[in-house]
Structure 1
Amino acid sequence: MDLLLIVLVSASTLTFFIFRCLYNQTKSSSNLPPGPRPLPIIGNILELGRNPPIALSKLSKIYGPIMTLKLGSITTIVISSPQLAKQVLQENSQAFSSRITPHAVQIYDHHKFAITWLPPTAQWRNQRRACATKIFSPKMLDSTKVVRQQKLQELLDYVKDKSLKCEVLSLGEAVFTPVLNSFSNTFFSLDLSHSASDEKSQEFKNIITGAMEDAGRPNVVDFFPILGPLDPQGFHARMSISFIKLRKIIDAIIEERMCSRVSKTDSGFEVANDVLDSLLSNVGGSSQLSREEMLHLFMDLFIAGIDTTVVTVEWAMSELLRNPDKLEKTKDELRQAIGEDATLVESHILKLPYLQAVVKETLRLHPPAPFLVPRKCDEDVSISGFLVPKDAQILVNLWAMGRDPIIWENPNMFVPERFLDCKIDFKGHNFELIPFGAGKRMCPGLPLAYRSVHLLLASFLHYFDWKLADGLTPEHINMEERFAGLSLKKAQALRVQAISIKQ
C-alpha cells in the first residue's frame, strides 16, 4: 500500500510539473522579448552548448539585444547591449538587485550570509559598507601594500630561478600561489601556501577553481528544482567538499586571532594592520560583522578575487605574446616611465597609460565573468517595450558586448590603442566595458583587483623577456576559451620561458 501511494504521488507530481512547465512556456509569451522556440519541458537548455556566452551571442544576432530563453522552469532574459545593460543595472537597479541562487552554493546557508548571493537587505548593506570602509578602502589597501610587494618579489624570485634553469612554466599556475598569498596577507597577515609546487597550493587551486565552476555551470537542478535532493550532476556534493575545506581553514584563522586578542587584553595585543583586525576592532561600529558573516564574506572574496585575477593576467600575457608589437610598446613605456633599474611599485600604475589600455582591452575581449553574477527580477518590469517578468533570471552577456562590431571597430582584434585618449574605464560608468558590473551590485573587490592585475602584468614585462614554450610561434597560440562556470578561461594553459633582464 505504501509503495502504491508513493508511485501515485510521484506520478501526480511529475504530471503537475510537466503541465506547469508547458503553461509557463506559453504564459504572457506575446509580451516577452523574442527568442528561440523552446522545446517541451527542457525549453532552450540545449541552446546553451558547451560555451554559453558564445552560443548566446550568436542567438542575439538573430533575436536581438534582449532575448528570452526558457531553461526548464526558469524564464531567462539575456541582455547583450550597453544601452539595455544600463537600464537593467542602473536605471531599474531596485528591481534587478536580487540574485538567482544556484543550488550548488546553498551549503552551510552560504546564500543567506554571503555578499555575492544576498538580496539587497540591511545585512547585505552592512557587508557592502564593511567592504568599502574596512576591506577595500584606499587607506586599508595602502597600509597593506608592503606585504603585497613582498609576495610579488617572491613570485619574481621564483620566475627568475626557473629562468636560470631554463625551465618552462605554466603562467597561470605560477601566478596562483603569489596571488593567493597576496590576498591572505592583505586579509590575515599570513601565507596560505609556501610554494607553487606544494600540495597546499594545489589544494587551494582545486577548491577555488572548483567552486567557481560548480557555482556557475548549467545545473539541471537549477532548471528543475524538484530534482534538488538527487543532485544528478554532483555539483552540490562537490561544492560541499570545497566549502568544508575552505571554511575550516578560514574559521581556524578567525578563531586563533580572536583568542589572541582576548589573551592579550591585559598586556595589550599587537595590531596586525590587516583586514581581519580591522573588522574585529569595529565592535559596535556601523559596519560590524558577526563571525559567521566574516567567514562567508572571506570565502566569497577568496573564491572570486583570486580566480578572476589569475585568469585576467594569463589572458593579458597571452594577448601580448600573440601581438609582439603591442608587447614591445608596453615594455617601452615601462622603460621610459620607470627606468631600467627602478623597483616597480603600485604607485607607478598611474604613469602607465598604455599598460592600463592593455588591461582594458584584455577585459573587453576576455571578461573574467562573462555573464557577471546572474540577477533576479523582483517585479514585472518593462525594458525596451518588452516584459521582463517577476522572478526571471537576468544574464548580461559581456562577451557579446565586447565583440559587438556596432560598439567596437575590429572587435576581434587586440588593439589597446582604442583606449588611449579615451575616457572609457571599467568602474561602472561606461556600460560598453563593465567586467566588474555596475550599480549597487558592482564587484566590491575592484580596487584590489585593479592594483593586483596591473602590478603583476607590469612586473612580468619590466623584469623579464618571454618566449613561448614547445616551439610555438605567436600566431599559433591557442586562444580558445573554456567556459568554467562563473569565469571564462583559456582552454589551453599558457606555457612560457622567462629570460631575466634584471640581475
Structure 2
Amino acid sequence: MEAWHLFFAAIVVVLTPFLRLILFRGGIDDQERGRLPPGPPAVPLLGSTVWLTSSLHDPVTLFQRLVARHGPIISLRFASQLLVIVADRRLAHAALVERGVSLADRPAVESARHLGVGLGDCSDKLITTTSYGPVWRLLRRNLVSEMLHSSRFRLFAPARAWTRRVLVDKLREHEHGDGAAPSDVVEAFHYAVFCLFLLMCFGERLDEATVRALTAAERDLVLYTSSNMAVFAFFPAVTKHLFRGRLQRMHALQWRLKELFLPLINSRREYKKQCGEPRKESTFEHSYVDTLLDIKLPEDGNRALTDDEMVNLCSEFLNAGTDTTSTALQWIMAELVKNPSIQSKLYEEIKSKTGDGGEVSEEDIHGMPYLKAVVLEGLRKHPPGHMLVPHRAAEDMEVGGYLIPKGATVNFMVAEMGRDEEEWEKPMEFIPERFLAGGDGEEVDVTGSKAIRMMPFGAGRRICPGLNMAMLHLEYFVAVMVREFKWKEVAGDEVDFTEKREFTTVMAKPLRARLVPRRTHFG
C-alpha cells in the first residue's frame, strides 16, 4: 500500500466518530444539492468516500463503475472540488457545443500553485491548460495560423517525407531474412513521430543521439508526472512535505528538459537574427519556436515570452503531437495485424493509387476512402485519451436536467461514447466499413459540431486544434507502413488488446508483428 493510502487511512480513523454526522456534498444549499447529478456520498476534506478504496492511477475504471450504478452523468468530490463526469454523447454535445462558452475554461491547478515546482509555474501559459481568455486566444491563434494553417502546414511536406524514411528505416533495422518479429515496433513509431515534431518545433533535423536524449527527457517527465504527482491534489500544503522526494525528482526532470531545450531555442533565436539565411541543409525555414519568439503578451505589458514559458510550450507541442499519434498508430496497426483481410483490402486500395512499385505520397491518400475509414475506426475503438483535459464551469449551467454549478470540474468519457452499443453496431469489433456509404458511421463528424458520436479530439471551443494535422499524419503513416510491409501476427505472441493507462491509453502488451517486405528496396 502506498504511503498516501496510509496517510488517508489515518485521517479516516480520526474522523470516524463524526462521519455519520457530517456527510455532505459541499458548500451548497439543500435545494441545489438535490439538483446535482447523482453520485457517491462525500465527507469533508476527503471528498467522495470511493476515493479511499480506488486508485488515483486508474480513475476511468472508477467512473465506469459509478456510471453503471448512477447513470450517464455523475458527480463526486475530489478533496474539496466537485467533479462531474459525462458518459452520454447527447449530454456531451449539450455541454460542450450548445453551451460551449460556459465550459471553455480550465480548472485551476491548485496543487501547482502551492508546490511551485520548477517550470510548473508557467502552466498558465500553455494552450492546453490556460484559462479561457486573451492569453489562451493569443497562444491558440498563433499555433493555428502559424503552424496548422494549410499554407504553413504545406511547408512541412518535406519533413513528413523525411520522417517516412526514418520510420521505414527503423522498422527495417529489425527485419531479418526469415521475417522475424521486431521487438520494438512501438519504439519505432514513437521515435519517427517524435523526429517529425522536433523538426516542426525547432526547425532542425537532429542527429539520433540528440533525439534519443530529448525523447528520454520528455517521456521521463510525462510518465513521472502522470504516475506520481496525483497525490498532491489532496492537501498540497501537507503532501508537499510528506512527499518531498517526488518534488525533488520532478525538479530534476524539469531542469533536465530545460537544459536540452534552451540551446535549441537559442539557436533558432540566432537564426532569426540572421534573417533566416539557411545555415545548412538540415535547417528548415519555419518552426514553432520562430512563432513563439515573435509573441508579445498585451495583458502583461506587451512583453515577450520567457525562456521557461517557451520551454513549456515546446514541451506541450511535442507531447500533444507525439504521444497521441504514436499511440493511435500502435492500436491501428495492431488491428490490421489481427484482421488480415482488412489489411489486404487496405493494401489493394493503396496499390491502386501508387502502382506496384510506387511510394505513397500525401496527394495519394486524399483519394483513399478505405484508409480514412480504417483510421476513423481505430480512433473510435481505441481513442488515445479515454478522458478529455478537464473543463471548468464558468457559470451555473443545466445539463440533462441536472445542475452543474459554477466552478465545478467537468470531464467526458470519450471511449464510452465511441463504444456505446446503443449507438454503434458491434462496437467492440473493428469494422472500417461502418464509415463508408451505408454504414452506421457514414455521417460521423469528428468535430462534433452537429452531433457527437465519437470525439477523440474533443469538441467545442477547446477541441484539439491539430485535428486535421493528426488525421493526415495517421493516414499517411498507416499507408506507408502497409505499402512497405505485410504485417503478420507472431505465433505465441498474439495481439493482446488489454489497455494500460500512461499519458495516453496504450497497449499493456506492446505490439509485436512479423514484418514481411512488399518491396525489395525503399528509396
Q: TM-score, length-normalised on structure 1?
A: 0.86
Are the counterparts in 2 of residues 365 and 412 from structure 1 also a CA contact under 8 Å? yes
Q: Gaps spanning 5+ residues in structure 2: where? A: 1-10
Residue in 2 that maps onto 1:370: 386
**Greater RCO (Cα-Cα under 8 Å, separation 6 or more):** 1
Shift of 1:68: 0.9
1:83 aligns with 2:64: no
Instruction: Classify the secondary structure of the residue corresponding to 1:98.
Output: coil
Shift of 1:469: 3.5
Shift of 1:31: 1.6
Shift of 1:318: 0.9
Deviations 1:402-441 (CA, angstroms, capped at 9, x unpaired): 2211111111111111111212132343411111111221
Take 1:192 and 1:354, find their aligned partners in 2: how far apart are those partners?
35
Task: Note closer, same or farther for the CA distance 1:209–1:304 as it changes in structure 2 (3 Å cut).
Answer: farther
Residue in 1 that maps onto 2:509: 492
C-alpha RMSD of matched pairs (Å): 3.2
Residue in 2 that maps onto 1:423: 443
Shift of 1:379: 2.0
Are the counterparts in 1 of residues 175 and 515 from structure 2 also a CA contact under 8 Å? yes
Deviations 1:174-199 (CA, angstroms, capped at 9, x unpaired): 111111111111222323451xxx68
Deviations 1:115-162 (CA, angstroms, capped at 9, x unpaired): 111001211111111111101111111111112211211221232232
Task: Note closer, same or farther for the CA distance 1:408–1:145 as it changes in structure 2 (3 Å cut).
Answer: same
Match for 1:467 among 488, 499, 513? Answer: 488
Task: Note closer, same or farther for the CA distance 1:71–1:188 as it changes in structure 2 (3 Å cut).
Answer: same
Take 1:442 and 1:59, find their aligned partners in 2: how far apart are those partners?
26
Residue in 2 that maps onto 1:249: 260
1:174 aligns with 2:188: yes
Are the counterparts in 2 of residues 104 and 239 from structure 1 also a CA contact under 8 Å? no
Residue in 2 that maps onto 1:3: none
Q: How does 1:94-493 map to 2 (within 5 A)?
A: 94-102=101-109, 103=111, 107-108=118-119, 109-164=121-176, 166=180, 168-192=182-206, 194=208, 201=212, 204-205=215-216, 207-208=218-219, 210-211=221-222, 214-215=225-226, 219-230=230-241, 232=243, 236-262=247-273, 264=274, 272-276=284-288, 278-279=290-291, 282=294, 290-292=305-307, 293-421=309-437, 422-429=442-449, 430-469=451-490, 471-472=492-493, 476-485=494-503, 487-493=504-510
| Counterpart residue type for residue 117 of structure 1 | T
Are the counterparts in 1 of residues 47 and 76 from structure 2 also a CA contact under 8 Å? no
Take 1:52 and 1:322, find their aligned partners in 2: how far apart are those partners?
29
| Counterpart residue type for residue 182 of structure 1 | L
1:57 aligns with 2:73: no
Shift of 1:338: 2.6
Task: Note closer, same or farther for the CA distance 1:101–1:170 as it changes in structure 2 (3 Å cut).
Answer: farther
Take 2:92 and 2:507, find their aligned partners in 1: how far apart are those partners?
26
Instruction: Classify the secondary structure of the residue corresponding to 1:351.
Output: coil
Shift of 1:300: 0.6
Shift of 1:372: 1.0
Shift of 1:471: 2.8
Deviations 1:22-47 (CA, angstroms, capped at 9, x unpaired): 55448443121011334663413146
How many positions carry a matched residue from both structures?
480
| Counterpart residue type for residue 154 of structure 1 | V
Residue in 1 that maps onto 2:8: none
Shift of 1:445: 2.2
Are the counterparts in 2 of residues 53 and 400 from structure 1 also a CA contact under 8 Å? no
Q: TM-score, length-normalised on structure 2?
A: 0.83
Deviations 1:281-318 (CA, angstroms, capped at 9, x unpaired): 85789999635444332111111211111100001111
Take 1:390 and 1:497, find their aligned partners in 2: how far apart are those partners?
53
Take 1:339 and 1:251, find their aligned partners in 2: how far apart are those partners?
45
| Counterpart residue type for residue 375 of structure 1 | H
Question: Which segment drifts farther, 132-141 or 96-105?
Answer: 96-105
Take 1:332 and 1:21, find their aligned partners in 2: how far apart are those partners?
66
